[in-house]
Structures are given as C-alpha cells and as structure tokens.
Amino acid sequence: MSGNLQVGLTRVMAYGDTLNDGKVQLSFSLPVRYGPEAIEAAKQLAAKMGLEDVDVVCAHDLGGPFTFFIVYGKCRHSVDVTALSVPRIAIDSMGFDELNEFVRAHLDRKIVVVAACTGSDAHTVGIDAIMNMKGFAGEPGLERYSCFEAHNLGAQVPNETLVAEAIRLRADAVLVSQVVTQKNVHIANLTALVDLAEAEGIRDDMIFIVGGPRISHELALELGFDAGFGAGTLPCQVASFIARQVVKNAHRTDAVLPEER
C-alpha cells in the first residue's frame, strides 16, 4: 500500500489484497476427524462467526479425531480508531550510560530488582532477555547496568519463594514473566502473587511488573501490577521505567509538605 495513501480512521477494516476488502485469516482446531465433514464443519463455523466468502485453504490431520484449519474470509465489521482509549506506559526511555548516570545523580545506592518465571512456567527466554547481561536486540540486560543489583531466580519459582526473596533482598522492583497461558493459568498465578504481596505487607513498598506475549499494560493494571510489558520489549524500557519510578518514590518519601511539619 502506498505510503501517501490517506486512510480514514473512523471505519478501519481488515485488508488483504485491497484496502477495506475485509479479508482475514483465521486458524483453529476442531475435535473432528480429518475429511470432507471436517472441512465443511470449519466452513460453517467460520460463517457463524460472521465471515463471508469462506475458503478453507488448509486442513491438516492432527491424528485421531482432531483437524487443524486455516480459513480465509471477509469480515464486514469496522473499528473507529479515533474513539479508542488504550492504557499505555508512559516511558521516557534512556540509554545505557544515561540511565546509569540518572540513578547516580538521584540515588545514593543501587536499585534492587528480583525477577522470575513463576508457577509452572519454565520459559525463561523473556525474563533472561530483560535481566541477563547479553540482553536483547543489542540492548544490555539489567545485570550489566552498574546502577542495578539484579537477581534472576529462574524458572518455575513459587510465588512464595519470589516474595520471600524480595523481602530478604529489600527489593525495589519485582519482575514476573508469564509465557504459559493455557486455561488462563497466568491470570490465576499473577492474582495469587499480588494477593500474597498484599498479605505480606510489601505491595505498596515495591514496584510489581509483569511481562509476556499475552500481557498488556491494561491487563497488568487490572491484576494489581504497576506495569505490563508485551513481546518485543527492550531491557532499556523496563530499566528506565523502574529507575524513574524508584527515584520518584524516593523523592516523594523524602519530601515533607508544609502541612505535615
């Protein structure tokens, strides 16, 4: 599509070949044995979802009574982008040297961060990208920053262990990575973590951050966290958010209002 094309944002539709053609691609599995009946079932299901001109372009036998499908169709619905209001993190991201200097100028100590993949989650790629020295996409992780004391507890860490370590280390921030989301297990696990932090009396004393491919800032706020970061987040973005919040909280604590004297 031409970069000069003016697109109206009040009725945004999906497009595949031409603007506003409504073409979408949908993939799903059905507990139906591969065959003509399975393909017809997929077409009818897509039609009941509101898609028009449905084509099943891929039907793959998963073994037993299961079939995987890729379906094309037209969706006639549109979205008014100008009316959207989405919670987002306001990050004034700093570079490596700038951030280290910022903390040195505003704090007389290192910022303590404790991180882990909690519950049954064994996928450490995300938390390692943020915490480990090598970082991600050319950006160093928190372990390389001189202004951070970074503790990566690894995978399948019970919430109780994470909270206990945060208390022992007197952490400023707690980072949680959640990749496993089947049956919304991440929602239950994250809710339990916040409840435990509140029960231990540390929720208001530490910054709680969650990240993962199905994590949004809006969801994080709903679950009681201070921030949520999705896929593609850079270590400097998380580091900048933590540093600015810690400095802000420290100055708020140190300040004495006239009416409080």
Is there a domain that residue 260 lies in? no
CATH number reported for the structural domain that contains residue 162 in this entry: 3.40.50.280
162 within some domain: yes
Domain final residue, candidates 81, 106, 128: 81
Cα 254 from Cα 261, distance rounded (Å) = 13
Q: Residue 51: give its domain's CATH number.
A: 3.30.30.60
Band (233; pLDDT cuts 50, 70, 90): very high
* pLDDT of 259 over the 90 cut: no
Same domain, 152 and 203: yes
Question: What average pLDDT does the segment 89-98 reach?
Answer: 89
Residues 120 and 175 placed together within one structural domain of the fold: yes
Domain that holds residue 216: 96-254
Catalytic residue among 23, 134, 183, 248: 134
Predicted confidence (pLDDT) per residue in 117-139, tens digit: 999 888 999 999 999 999 999 99
Task: Answer for the pair 67, 61: CB distance below 8 angstroms, yes or no.
Answer: yes
Same domain for 75 and 134, yes or no, is no
Based on the residue annotation, tell me whether 134 is a catalytic residue of this protein: yes
pTM over 0.85: no
Q: Give pLDDT, residue 5.
A: 56
* Contact of 113 with 127, CB cutoff 8 Å: no
The domain total for the chain is 2
Residue closest to 175 by CA, chosen among 115, 229, 241: 115
pLDDT above 90 covers a percentage of the chain that reads 79
Residues 215 and 106 in one domain: yes
Task: Summarize pLDDT for 150-199 with one digit per residue, the tens.
Answer: 999 999 999 999 999 999 999 999 999 998 888 889 999 999 999 999 99
